[in-house]
Structure 1
Amino acid sequence: MGSLEEGRANQGFFGSSSAAGFMRQIKIAVDRRVSSPERHPSSSNRALGSSLLSNRNEKHQSTVAAYVLPPRRTADSLMEVYWDYVFPLYPFLDSGLMKGEYTKIWRGDSLQYDENMVMCTFNVIFALASQLADFVPPREREAAADAFFSRAKGLFQFNLWATGSAGLIQCLLLMAQYLQSTDSAHQCWIVTGLAIRNAQSLGLHLPQTIARFSTFQEQQLARKIWHGCVLMDRVMSMTFGRPAMISKISSGDVPLPVLVDDEFIPVNTTAEPTQPTQKISIMAFYAKTLELYEIMNEVLLSLHKPISDDGPDETHQFYFNSTNSDGEHTIFELDHSLTRWAQTLPAHLRVGSTAAVHNPVFFRQGIVLNARFLHVRILLFRPILSKYCTMRESLRRNSTIAISDSLPHRVALQCSIICVKVAQESIEMIYNNVPGDGTGGPLPAWWYNILYIYTAATVLIAGRLCSTISEEITDSSMTRSWNCALDILRKYQSYSFSARRCVAALEILYEQVVAEGHQPNEQSNSHGLLNDISFGEGMNTEMMEAFEFPDFQDMSWLNSVPSNLF
């Protein structure tokens, strides 16, 4: 039925619909009617919201700590990778606090916060950095990262029956980040959900909770943590095609983090600080990413859902009708939102800007943000491309009806062409920024590159299915984009088993499209193609037995993601 005891910190936050919330309201009313000098008004959530960084319920430390750290030089190098390569994109931590704790570890000083959680978090950071560090050979990264993550799991203490903490949520967000680089897709989904639920139990989804924190440093950290949950929730929803946990309203209630770097936020002050005028904050990237991913969430809610296959009229009604219900948006409205988002980008986050060229952090932020923007645009137009390709046979059979001359058909065609061209742009952008020396360069993490390239490559395959699209985009252009996509994925074959499976799946799909194009009335023998395909290292026919080869009258394969290949 819910907790009835109000004001207990270990119970967490309770909203107005809960029994505890109702009892709190009754108690306030009673206190007002029956007042005395000794009685003070109830403030049930003050204990919960007074401090985000307190050590309440966190000082749990083993009598004999079983901490293992890598050699100092290795640890320093991995931390440098995290702060330079990961943190500017995912500022889930307070950099000043965590750097201070890291220094204390090597000095042998007592830590300010829960020691187990801090050591667990550092091992997750080491694991994440091992997957991205240029000084770790690609073939050794998985084993090195897994060793650190195993240590983190051994230190991780999660009590299902107790309220979480800021440190716990931050650690869970980092774990979710790391698990994206592994084959543990389900665990990534679950860990993200745990982070969100613990954040909500602390009331971090409410602006009034954050306003009660005693210092601006804590308020800023609370905003960063909550919006980190929002960001990972949106990414998981997009990647797995599952409903988001955080509603549109809840995601926007809490203000975005202010555009001030951690180093310029005083420790014990309630006043809102300002960024020095001569220094651009790295937090602008975080804010624009969150804005972009809210548009992406609108795309997923409005366009990526089952629709009728009855005919072109239903397709037009679904994608282009301006009277969609339940807050849904048409493709035109969503495209306009993306256009406005791009127009409001700060100068230092625009690809090729002067500020970005002279600053490696801003240069990479601009590249990563552009890659995300292009991927969202693909997600926007891909449902129409999928439906358009599915309709092509019905158009042939009903050639006496001039459907091809109708406005909905023309709009669908143009949207499909745009989708293919955006996919080409995405591939070209990543291809042009892949360093030749095997380093990570300014691109997103390699597991995101695999997702972006796989998505774009499947769009190219769909484009080859429709002659009307091919008429607008030359074969030489499509061939170049296709070869670049496979070239990129082959570079990542030594990083990940999923990259090898993506290459194999794409080549099989492509061969089937070519076979169908030459023999439209015959069922292509997909398994017969296996011996003619050049797989990545370690690939063989047994490895492909798990693939379900598509019927090209059903375009559901176009909406697949690499995680579906396992």
Structure 2
Amino acid sequence: MENSIRQLQSPTSSALVDRQEPRRDPNTPEDSVQSPPTDSVAPGSRSHNTSELGEIDVSESSIDGMGAMKFTDEEDCGFFGPSSNIAFMRYISRAIAKASPHREPTLNSSTPQRECGGKVSVAKSRPPSRGPASGAENLIPSPAVNIYALPSEERTWSLIQQYFYKTGQLLPFIHERSFCETYFQMKRERFSKVRRTWLGLLNIVLAIAASLSTNGDMPAEKRIQESDVYYQRANGLCDRDSRRNASLEMVQYLLILGQYLQGTQKSVQAWTAHGLAISAAYQLGLHSPDANRGFPPLECEIRKRTWFGCVLLDRTLSMTFGRPCAIPESYVKLDMPSQDLQMLSLTAETETHPTLDGSFFTAAIKLYVILYSVLESCYGANLGFEVSTNSIDAMSGIVEGQHRLDEWRLQLLPSLGLEVWDIPTSREDVEKMDTGSVIRHRFNVVLSVRYNNLRILLHRRCLESLLDSFQTQDNTMLTSETRLLQHMGLSSVVSCVESAVSIISAVYNMSSGSGWRRELLGAWNYSLYYTFNAALVIFGSLIVASKERDRNPSAWTMVSHSRPYIDTAAETLRQLDSGNPVVERCQEYLLQLSAILDPLISEKPYADNRLAPHFPTEYSSGLFPLGSSDLVPPMDLGEFMIGQDWDLLGRMFGQPHSEK
């Protein structure tokens, strides 16, 4: 396998698209390249022009591309606003400190950290540290990759199919048949005239397909290495053009690039790529109904869906990084995706239900409209301004948000032939799924996890307020608004826990399966984000509810039954993508949280069951009962290294993470 990876990187790879130095034809468009119609070249016969070889991009930050976990100290300041988990973890860390007043906060010496007003530290991109020998290793020039090479035809076609089987279904803005026809034409012409941007698009498709495939046919480390080679080629082909030329192809490339970078430790680049995609989209008028009308129906639909791809990823990055959306909701004026044009290739299932991808995309867009409103009303649009909102207004915003979620789930989804799981998923539920509706099952699973994640985000504000007021001893000093917040807030806490348990149970039962059912989940980095986030919410909820043990036993009882799901979440991550270093570190983090939780809440009123399969239905009765009515967010570990319980965390995350 190591030899295969080296061959992928080698300029003399046996699968080169460009077997000799690329030549320009005066009659060929500027962004096209020509290559002679030969299939092989003897090693050493190729002249190595450094202009056609790309240097390996080894830049890494200490925060993963989902805006997730901070692994090391930071030298620059970056803004991570209210909706980010770095902000949420501050509430948890302060509550831990209040619950353990005898412990003095300590900072791990290897993770110095500083805050800059509303900002937190963000690492400069730098080559990863590799231990004591890293100094010598860094003196060795980075290897070069041939940006015009491709893997074998068999591997290329396999990865293209994998892309459209999963990622291409969940963000369906590339027309599968047109893309494949372009690839076959390129093969027939023996790669003689290939647009540079299209070749870059192909390589980033190969990169994300290799990165996100977790079906066990290749160890995670080798899969990451292979995907990185394709990323390097795509970056070498399109990095220059992405800043100079705007085209629909380039916007699609940048969107997939942003998705790919979210599964790496290249968080700064993920944010930058997304900004470039939006700028190019505006330049092309993808957002404009008038501009799109001048194109044939298929191209018009592709342009429209590409714009919606920009919108959805904009909302995702805003939520995870805690930064303002770059696309205001008032700029989204296009009609919903067409139900008549099929973006996916025909299968038995799509022939029977030709509107599946359009229905799913419509449901996702409508859900993210609600996400935008939640970020606006509950998190101040992630602007980081100090806004004083009284408890009544805050709860009113939550009630309105839940009402909109209920309408989406109970009215819109059934009209589209889709549904979400709003109760914990059992193994039996998964086994009942039939092979004749794989695409529909995947859409339902992904929408279910996204829905529950948004429900958590909506109600998390109450949990944060309760964490902030944790350990207030004198109830006579509480204002009437504070008492109201506590009363209604505990119901919101239960809502958070219900959705967190639903996420963990769904991802656990899917990831513990095999075959096609395991593939029903979305990308591993999103499953990682949702599962990790859900476990953090349960952790915070248990701390809050422990305060209510004596005063409000029923509130404690409802939340305490979720305790085993923190361990279930850790087990879920273990089986989600074995050998993936980002996943493994997050799993270890959850295990450490679990270890310090029991002393904080003093008692263990839950059954000794580390993998509880169900959340008791008798406790599913929060303010908004479920019956009535979706990489890991940034964390600043130095801030809550409290006592010796956190020593392992400090050692674990004190050094830069090497993503191979």
Same fold, TM exceeding 0.5? yes
Q: Is the 8 A contact 1:126 1:145 kept in 2?
A: yes
Partner of residue 417, structure 2: 347
1:333 to 363, 378, 400: 400
Q: Which residues of 2 match residues 164-183 of structure 1 at below 5 A?
A: 164-183=246-265
* Aligned residue number for residue 342 of structure 2: 262
Q: Is the 8 A contact 1:349 1:362 kept in 2?
A: no
State the one-letter code of the partner of 1:338. L
3-state SS of paired residue (2:588): helix
What's 1:410 paired with? 487
Contact 1:349 1:356 in 2 (8 A): no
Q: 1:62 maps to which residue?
A: 33
- Partner residue in 1 for 2:104: none
Partner of 2:168: 87
Partner of 1:304: 379
Structure-to-structure mapping, 1:244-255, within 5 angstroms: 244-251=325-332, 253-255=333-335
Cα distance change, pair 482–146 in 1 and its aligned pair in 2 (3 A): same
CA offsets, 1:400-436, max 9 Å, x none? 6585994443211211111122111111111121134
Give the Cα–Cα distance (whole angstroms) in 2 for the partners of residues 408 and 475 of structure 1. Answer: 17
Aligned-pair identity (%) = 25
Could you say which residue in structure 2 is the equivalent of 1:292? Answer: 367
Structure 2 counterpart of 1:139: 221
Q: Is the 8 A contact 1:116 1:155 kept in 2?
A: yes
Q: TM-score, with normalisation over the residues of structure 1?
A: 0.73
Q: Using the alignment, how far apart are the partners of 1:378 and 1:211 within structure 2? A: 39
Q: CA offsets, 1:369-398, max 9 Å, x none?
A: 11111101110001111101222333x223
1:14-55 CA deviation, whole Å, 9 max, x = no partner?
A: xxxxxxxxxxxxxxxxxxxxxxxxxxxxxxxxxxxxxxxxxx
- RMSD between superposed Cα atoms in Å: 3.3
SS in 2 for 1:246: coil
Q: d(CA) in 2 for partners of 1:480 and 1:542?
A: 26
| CA deviations over 1:116-135 (Å, ceiling 9, x no partner) | 11111111111111112323
Give the CA deviation at 1:94: 1.7
Q: Distance in 2 between matches of 1:64 and 1:57?
A: 12
* Post-superposition offset of 1:278: 5.6
- Give per-residue Cα distances to partners, 1:531-557, cap 9 Å, x unaligned: 7x6xxxxxx85333379xxxxxxxxxx
State the 1:337 CA deviation: 0.6
For residues 436-477 of structure 1, give each alpha carbon's deviation from its aligned partner in whole angstroms, at most 9, with x where no partner exists: 449842112110011001110111111111223874345773
Give the deviation of 1:153 after TM superposition.
Answer: 1.4
1:542 is matched with 651
Give secondary structure in 2 for the equivalent of 1:260: coil
Matched, 1:432 2:509: yes
Per chain length, whose mean CA-contact separation is higher, i.e. which structure has more relative contact order (CA < 8 Å, sep 6+)? 2
* 3-state SS of paired residue (1:393): coil
AA at the equivalent of 2:356 = S
Counterpart in the other structure of 1:189: 271
Q: Do structure 1's residue 483 and structure 2's residue 572 form an aligned pair?
A: no
Q: Larger helix proportion, structure 1 or 2? A: 1
More divergent stretch after superposition (199-208 vs 63-72): 63-72
SS in 1 for 2:562: helix
Residue 50 (structure 1) aligns with: none
Residue type of the partner of 1:101?
Answer: T
Cα gap change, 1:303 to 1:111, in 2 (>3 Å): farther
Measure the CA separation in 2 of the matches of 1:117 and 1:61. 8
Question: Partner amino acid for 1:122?
Answer: L
Q: What corresponds to 1:230 in structure 2? A: 311
| Distance change >3 Å, CA 434–CA 375, structure 1 → 2 | same
Match of 2:286 in 1: 204
Cα distance change of structure 1 residues 495 and 195 upon mapping to structure 2, 3 Å threshold? farther
Q: Structure 1 pair 484/248, CA: closer, same or farther in 2 (3 Å)?
A: same
8 Å contact from structure 2 (residues 201, 234) kept in 1: yes
Task: Say whether the 8 Å CA contact 1:116–1:156 is kept in structure 2.
Answer: yes
Distance 1:210 1:119 in 2: 25
One-letter identity of the residue aligned with 1:60:
D
* Shift in Å, 1:293: 1.0
- In structure 1, how many angstroms separate the alpha carbons of the residues matched to 2:645 and 2:398? 38
Other-structure match for 2:103: none
Indicate the residue corresponding to 2:541 in structure 1.
463
Does the CA contact (< 8 Å) of 2:166 and 2:522 recur in 1?
no
- Spell out, residue by residue over 1:146-184, the C-alpha distance to the aligned partner (whole angstroms, 9 max, x if none): 011111112215347744001111111111111111111
| Match in the other structure for 1:502 | 586
Structure 2: where are the runs of 5+ without partners? 1-26, 37-146, 422-428, 604-639
- Provide the C-alpha distance between the structure 2 equivalents of 1:227 and 1:390, rounded to a whole number of angstroms: 37
1:404–1:333 distance in 2 versus 1, CA, 3 Å = closer
Distance (Å, rounded) in 2 between the aligned partners of 1:506 and 1:264: 38
Contact 2:504–2:565, Cα closer than 8 Å, also in 1: yes
2:442 pairs with 1:370 = no
C-alpha distance 192-495 of structure 1, shift in aligned 2 (>3 A): farther
Q: How many Å separate the matches in 2 of 1:454 and 1:181?
A: 15
TM-score by length of 2: 0.63
**Residue 96 (structure 1) aligns with:** 177
2:466 is matched with which residue? Answer: 388
CA 1:240–1:166: 2 relative to 1, 3 Å: same
SS at match of 2:170: coil
